[in-house]
Amino acid sequence: MGLITDLLRDPKAFILMAIPLLYSIIFHELAHGWVAYRMGDPTAKLMGRLSLNPLKHLDPIGTLMLFFVGFGWAKPVPVNFQNLRPRRAGLILVSSAGILTNILLAVAAIFISHLEPVYSNKVLATVFFWLIRINIVLAVFNLIPIPPLDGSKILMGFLPARYQYYFARLEPYGFFIILALLLLLRIL
């Protein structure tokens, strides 16, 4: 079911998975804020969200859902896309930043995991296994073009203006569409 089952069954294994999960999510969100800041939007910086502090990025409901249901979310880094220069490229780059960060973390973890001191140490090997797996899953999942996932914003950046309006109308239903897809995947 959720992560709570893993915690109760094997607390040590849970910690070895939870730490890579936590920091993969933090770096994903931090990347959005940092790229937005570099492209002209100071919102994340002004709100103190350019931070490695987990408390700045954890959403209480999303965290509880992760523990009890197995599906959760972080607190999205606030971005005012109107401040980005250039705006369309900014939308694409800011939205891609988290995904690219997850890919880079996975690739780096793959290389590091092949070093002798890592793969010969069971604890480190487990941490790197989870770091690779979690970051690949986060990158692929966030590529799905359903709002509010990053893939939807990337697609929005490439859509002609006349289609952006129609695509944006999916936003209120995105969470429910994603939830339905996840439930369907669990059934299959």
CB-based burial label for 77 (10 Å; 0-12, 13-18, 19+): buried
Mean pLDDT of 13-26: 93
Give the separation between CA 136 and CA 132, rounded to whole angstroms. Answer: 6
Q: What pLDDT was estimated at residue 116?
A: 86
pLDDT above 80: residue 1? no
| All residues at 6 or more sequence positions from 99 whose CB lies less than 8 Å from its CB, including other chains | 28, 138, 139, 142, 143, 150, 151
Mean pLDDT of 72-99: 96
Give the separation between CA 36 and CA 60, rounded to whole angstroms. Answer: 24
**pLDDT band at residue 57 under the 50/70/90 scheme:** very high
Give the separation between CA 82 and CA 129, rounded to whole angstroms. Answer: 39
Give the separation between CA 27 and CA 76, rounded to whole angstroms. Answer: 12
**Residue 139: how many CB atoms within 10 A of its CB?**
21
**pLDDT band at residue 67 under the 50/70/90 scheme:** confident
Cβ 94 vs Cβ 37: under 8 Å: no
pLDDT of 118-155, one tens digit each?
Answer: 888 999 999 999 999 999 999 999 999 999 999 999 99
Output the six-digit token pair for 123: 């604890």
Residues marked as catalytic: 29
Q: What is the pTM of this model?
A: 0.92
Mean pLDDT of 13-38: 96
**What does the domain layout of the chain look like in residue ranges?**
3-143, 144-188
Give the separation between CA 26 and CA 13, rounded to whole angstroms. Answer: 20
Helix, strand, or coil here: 95?
A: helix
pLDDT above 80: residue 88? yes
**CA trace torsion 7, 9, 14, 15 (10° rounding):** 80
Cβ 123 vs Cβ 139: under 8 Å: no
Q: What pLDDT was estimated at residue 170?
A: 93
